[in-house]
Amino acid sequence: MIKTRICDLIGIEYPIFQGGMAWVATGELAAAVSESGGLGIIGSGQAPADWLRAEIRKVKAITKKPYGVNVMLMSPFVDEVMQVILEERVPVITTGAGNPGKYVPMLKEIGTKIIPVVASVALAKRLEKAGVDALIAEGMESGGHIGEIGTFPLVPQVVDAVKIPVIAAGGIADGRGLIAALALGAEGVQMGTRFMCAEECTISPLIKDKIIKAKDRSTVITGRSTGHPVRCLDNHFTREVDQYEREGMSPDEISELGVGRLRLAMVDGDVQNGSIMAGQIAGAVNRIEPVANIVQDIMESAEREFERLSARFGERRR
């Protein structure tokens, strides 16, 4: 049985988080992941507080198990979103795209566990000092807004810099990735792209099909000139942005091009003009299946992989 400190800290069976993806991770998906023994996380993105409250209520109606909400700290609604989290007594929050330090005291007061996403050792250290409960170290293999460092170099450096549990994210979609993350010193994994292809994920089937057809080199990074690089599946939109960046369009204008594109992809299924945020591991996600199967497959394959390594390398001293 693969159990770690993170399982005890938040009361989950398996050390698997489902990434809190904006426009993707609805209450339906989060509830299914939590009910299967992982941590389901609602992606609040730039959604208003009322939307979030409705999604939280959906989760509460389906499962009594712990769940989380991802707070995108650049959202214009971040203060209202935090208010809903307090009122609904959400057990776990993850945060992205900023420093959640100022919200730590009020969340601690009601016992909400705070698990920020970091892409650097410096922020990891600052947030541990601010009193957060654990960290997600997210490498640039991830989809969406990314940092500069890959998962393999980032995770061990964050693990060495802090005492709190670290979850690895970026480029992980199966049991091999879970075992590798544990070997790097992480105590769990967060996966986004794999859960996009869950039956319970409400995104357009056209997007799921794109992920299933994706290969190892199907993602590209755009928006470097804006200081906020984003990883997406290559399509008409990413090629257009790339060309404008080469031609020297201003960072503000480049950012403007992205407005509304994530929704256009995920909800409307516009595979050419939308922003299909997905990670480099998309090439290894090959089928649509129920969340319960995904979680079982990850845990069974992790245990198989661990057995294989033990049989191969564990008998040296006998």
The residue count for binding ligand TUI (CB under 6 A) is 20
Q: Which residues contact 97 (CB under 8 A, 6 or more apart)?
A: 72, 73, 74, 145
> Of the candidates 42, 117, 266, 302, which one interacts with ligand TUI according to CB under 6 A?
117
Closest of 90, 51, 46 to residue 71, by C-alpha: 46
Is 267 an interacting residue with respect to ligand TUI (CB under 6 A)? no
Is 144 an interacting residue with respect to ligand TUI (CB under 6 A)? yes
The dihedral built from the CA positions of residue 270, 272, 273 and 277, taken in this order, carries a sign that is positive
| Cα within 13 Å of Cα(204), Cβ side | 16
Q: Which stretch binds ligand TUI (CB under 6 A): 8-16, 143-151, 173-181, 243-251?
A: 143-151
Tokens of 151: 């998962």
Closest distance of CB 216 from ligand TUI, Å: 21
> Of the candidates 82, 123, 132, 232, which one interacts with ligand TUI according to CB under 6 A?
123
Is 147 an interacting residue with respect to ligand TUI (CB under 6 A)? yes
> Of the candidates 22, 196, 233, 281, which one interacts with ligand TUI according to CB under 6 A?
22
Nearer to ligand TUI, 100 or 283 (CB): 100
Nearer to ligand TUI, 198 or 266 (CB): 266
Instruction: Give, rounded to a whole angstrom, the gap between the first and last alpha carbons of the chain.
Output: 24
Is 99 an interacting residue with respect to ligand TUI (CB under 6 A)? yes
Residues near ligand TUI (CB under 6 A): 22, 45-46, 72, 96-99, 117-119, 123, 138, 144-147, 258, 262, 277
